[in-house]
Amino acid sequence: MPPELVNSIGVVLQIIVALAGAFLLAFWVSLVIWAFRDIRSRTRDIFAQLLAALMVLLFGPIGLMIYFLLRPRETLDQVYDRQLEQEALLQDIEEQRACPKCHRPVEEDFRLCPNCRTPLKKPCTNCGRLLHLEWDVCPYCGTEAASPRVHALPAEEEPEPEPERIG
C-alpha cells in the first residue's frame, strides 16, 4: 500500500474516532443533564439532586439505570395534583350536610330531619324564611327571631311513700 493511502485512511479513522468520541461525550453529558432535570422535578432535596447527577456522571448508562431504580415515583407536580384532589374530596365530604342527631344526609333547605324529626331550622315570624336555630335575628328582614319552642315534658310525679306498718 502506498504511504499516502495509509495516511489518508489514518486521517479518516482519526476523524471517525474523534466524531464518535464527541458523540459519546455529548450523549454522556446529556444523560447527566436529563437526570439532573428529572430529579429536580421529583424532589427539592439538593443532596439527592447532586447525588443523582454525580452517579450518572461517574457511571454513565449504568448510573442512569441505578437512578431509575432509586428515583421517586411521582414528580412534585403529580404529588401536588394528588393533594389538591384529596383536599377537594375532603371539602365535598365536609360540605355535605347531615342531621346532628341521626347523621343521615339532609338538604340545605330542610326544616326537620325526615328520619328522626330533629328540628334543623326555624321559620322567621315576619318573612317566613328558614333560619338556623342559633340565630337571634333574621338576616333577611331584621326581625328578632323567636326562640325555638321547647315543649316542657310533664314531670313525673313521685309516688308518695307508703306509711310504715308496724306489726
What are the domain boundaries of the chain?
3-77, 99-148
Radius of gyration in angstroms for the set of CA atoms belonging to the chain, rounded to a whole number? 40
Spell out the alpha helix ranges (H) of the chain. 3-40, 46-59, 61-70, 76-95
Q: What pLDDT score was predicted for residue 166?
A: 62
Q: What pLDDT score was predicted for residue 162?
A: 59
Q: What pLDDT score was predicted for residue 165?
A: 59
Q: What pLDDT score was predicted for residue 146?
A: 64
3-state SS assignment for residue 1: coil
3-state SS assignment for residue 112: strand
What's the CA gap between 56 and 35, in Å, rounded?
7
Q: What pLDDT score was predicted for residue 155?
A: 47
The one-digit pLDDT tens for each residue of the chain (167 residues) are 777 777 888 899 999 999 999 999 999 999 999 999 999 999 999 999 999 999 999 999 999 999 999 999 999 999 999 999 999 888 876 666 888 889 888 888 888 898 898 888 888 888 888 888 888 898 888 888 765 544 444 444 445 555 565 65
